[in-house]
Structure 1
Amino acid sequence: MLKALVNQQTFDIISDKSGTSINGTPLEWDILEVRNNIFHILFQNRSYNAEVLEADYQTKSFLLKINRNQYLVNVKDRFDILLEQLGMANAGSAKVNDLKAPMPGLIVSIQVQVGDSIKKGDSLLILEAMKMENVLKATGEGKIKNIKVNPRQNVEKNQVLIEFE
């Protein structure tokens, strides 16, 4: 079972051996992938062109363009629904206050400065461990509060490297 929130409207989607239904109504459609992320859909004797403009699989958020209209779709799978029922819906989105060394190693370079605003995925520093360079990236948005290490410094596992505001 999936729950899809499309432009503030919720849909319950169930797929099983007998087919797919949306809000209890069987879904009868034909869909063909024309090119990567571009689809042609036949539904209720009407033709639709659909394109996936953006896809964030981690947050299960998608921006779709169907004909000339854009739709923001947020999906929850059965695990997300269960966590929500248990009151743990935001368990995975806790604020990160610092970056810790995932393993012992040597700081090769630091690519941010105190006061820098960062976005999810931005490179923060390079840690050399076991003869490999590992780029440590931001897991969310924030601002650099303090850098607790210097280049060419050895660090231990779980040592705080960078603090965020």
Structure 2
Amino acid sequence: MGQMKLEVNGTTYEVKIHGDKILINEKTIDLTKIKENEIVIDSKKFYLDFYERTGIGMEGKQQSLLLINGMAYTIVKIDTDQETIKELRAPMSGNIIDIYVQLGSYVQRGEPLLVLEAMKMHNEIKSPRDGKIIDILFNKQQPVKAGEIILIFD
């Protein structure tokens, strides 16, 4: 299970990931119903565009931009105890283009781990914590679905 807090336009959300399910403030979203650039929640369709690391927000935190049906939302990840993070999950569906680490590699938070191609864009995925890589579940050129575990930390 992955867990984090996100701040979206000033509102904080608790996010928990259980396999193919995401709980946002205890409301379940089924990841198997997410397409490349759209998501269905309560029978409503939302079109998504995500721009990672668009700038520095308040308090010096890195922010990203999410467009939902053309409306912009700024997203800031709230730091929690990074040692509780044991898995790196795919943030979106796509193909793994490159993997920069090996089994047993020691990485630092923010260090690039791999490149994930999604929606014809190459997204560099960085480490959410300091630690040792104890398992890598995918190889280069392999497809991955949003929410699938890519690698495991000590």
> How high is the TM-score relative to the length of structure 2?
0.48
TM-score, scaled relative to structure 1: 0.45
Q: Which has the higher contact order (CA 8 A, sep 6+)?
A: 2
